Amino acid sequence: MPNNRALYVSFLDQACGVIEPQEGLQYEFTYAPAWLASQRRGISLSLTPQTAPFPSVTARAFFGGLLPEGAARRHISQTYGVDDLDDIALLRLIGHECAGAIRVTSAPVEPGSSRRLIRWMEPDEVRE
């Protein structure tokens, strides 16, 4: 059963770890045992595979960097009524739409689920 507070991190639809909120606006990231067992690379040079949780200062540098900055961040936080310093709240809201291969979701991701989110456009739908 999923942890209601945790956020689940996936890389190309493969579960790779969990973000656990801590006191205040702090959080930790821990790689999933299956990810470590597969001997895959880390999702970031600063998050090299290890069994111990990464402290907030290290995790925030990577996961906070997935979020918009400046006016876009303020707009999202005002629209949804969350603190613009609260990475966890923002990742919970928009983490499933991160650029690149990383997705952050409130529930574990099923393999292949991102393919269902993509609608490929026909050539006549694309404007130059």
pLDDT digits (tens, 9 = 90+) for 50-99: 999 999 999 999 999 999 999 999 999 999 999 999 999 999 999 988 87
User: Does residue 112 sit within a domain?
Assistant: yes
From the list 94, 120, 110, the residue with the least C-alpha distance to 12 is 110
Residue 14: CA count within 13 A, CB half-sphere: 16
Q: In angstroms, how far apart are the furthest CA atoms of the chain? A: 51
In a domain, 75, yes or no: no
- Give the pLDDT band (50/70/90) at residue 1: very low
Number of domain units in the chain: 1
- Whether 33 is covered by a domain: the verdict is yes
pTM reported for the whole predicted model? 0.81
- Gyration radius (Cα) of the chain, Å: 16
Q: Is residue 77 part of a domain?
A: no
Query: What is the pLDDT at residue 109?
Result: 78
Mean pLDDT on 26-42: 94
Instruction: Confirm whether 42 is domain-assigned.
Output: yes
Q: 37 is in which domain, residue-wise?
A: 7-66+96-125
